[in-house]
Chain A
Amino acid sequence: MKDEQIKEILQTELSKMPSSNFNHLVLSAILQKEKNRRSHYIPFDEPFIIGIMILGMLVLSFMLLYGNPKKMDSSSGYSNIYLIVLLCSFIPIFIIAMNTITVKIMRHKSKA
């Protein structure tokens, strides 16, 4: 059997996908892509988050280096303020960092 005959048979037998179905599938794919993009949406740009994290780490480092709770007079409440500021700095940074890591993992999984 000649190659041209085989090619002709295969071409004739090929199941043609209707254009309307094709358009529907492409549209679904575009919508899915958009849905994925939105589900991974972070309200801040990544450099902004990284900047916040670095600033937070600097504040924490400064406070750890120069702040000394033992020298603080507990009655004056400075130690409490120190702890509050520490917590207030750390918790948002922690939340943002975990969010970024989670999103990166999800993006990596969706690509896989």
Chain B
Amino acid sequence: MLVNALQKAREGSTTALNDLLDKHKDLAFSIAHKYVKNEADAEDIVQEAFIKVFLNIRQFKSESSFSTWLYKIIYHESLKHLNNAKKLITINYEAEAEQGYDEMKVFENERYEIFKTAMHCLTANEYLVINLFYLAEKDIKEIVEITNQTNSNIKVLLYRARKKMADYFDNNTELKNGL
């Protein structure tokens, strides 16, 4: 089904390409956001990536998967943005969704807050690698292709990310209970 969508997108179907991008938009946005720590800048990065995808989809040769290609663009656009900005990255705690009287919703918001706090222990590269590995289900080879880093670097980043998360949750009982 994905192969069909990609084929249609390469033939010029905007709807098919829209569907492909919709599937990966959240992780793409999260990765960009982790690097630039700012929603507006993250959206700019995602927009640049989408433009590149739209302009070059016909030339996409399917040597790697579409998601690998997209995340590669996101990663490099994020780095380019950081280089261009040359400013200190400040942590920007955005206001979360309003709390409702729905208990489940309140609980979910609290879990989100807990996990979001936990993620601050990771660097942008560690966050990228661990998300690509677990959420995007990329193997090490694909992550190497996306980041242009060596195999051993990726493994080290993954190991550190896992360890940091494990240590963070072990040291915080409240966070542990949030799991």
Query: Is A bound to B?
Result: yes
- Cβ-defined partner of A111 (8 Å) among B26, B55, B115, B134: B55
- Interchain CA distance A110-B115 in the complex, whole Å: 40
Do B54 and A9 touch (CB < 8 A)?
Answer: no
- With contact pairs A26-B21, A33-B54 given, residues A15 and B29 touching in the complex (Cβ less than 8 Å): yes
- Cβ-defined partner of A22 (8 Å) among B22, B27, B134: B22
- At the interface, yes or no: B88 with Cβ under 8 Å from chain A? no
Do A28 and B51 touch (CB < 8 A)?
Answer: yes
B-facing mask of A32-52, CB < 8 A → 1, else 0?
Answer: 110010000000000000000
Residues of B within 8 A of A95 (CB): none
Interface size counted on chain A using CB atoms at 8 A: 27
Do A10 and B47 touch (CB < 8 A)?
Answer: no
- At the interface, yes or no: B165 with Cβ under 8 Å from chain A? yes
Give residues of chain B (89-131) contacting chain A, Cβ–Cβ below 8 Å: 111-112, 115-116, 118-119, 130-131
B residues sitting closer than 8 Å to A (CB atoms) are 14, 18, 21-22, 25-27, 29-30, 33, 42-43, 46-47, 50-51, 53-56, 59, 111-112, 115-116, 118-119, 130-131, 134-135, 162, 165-166, 169, 179
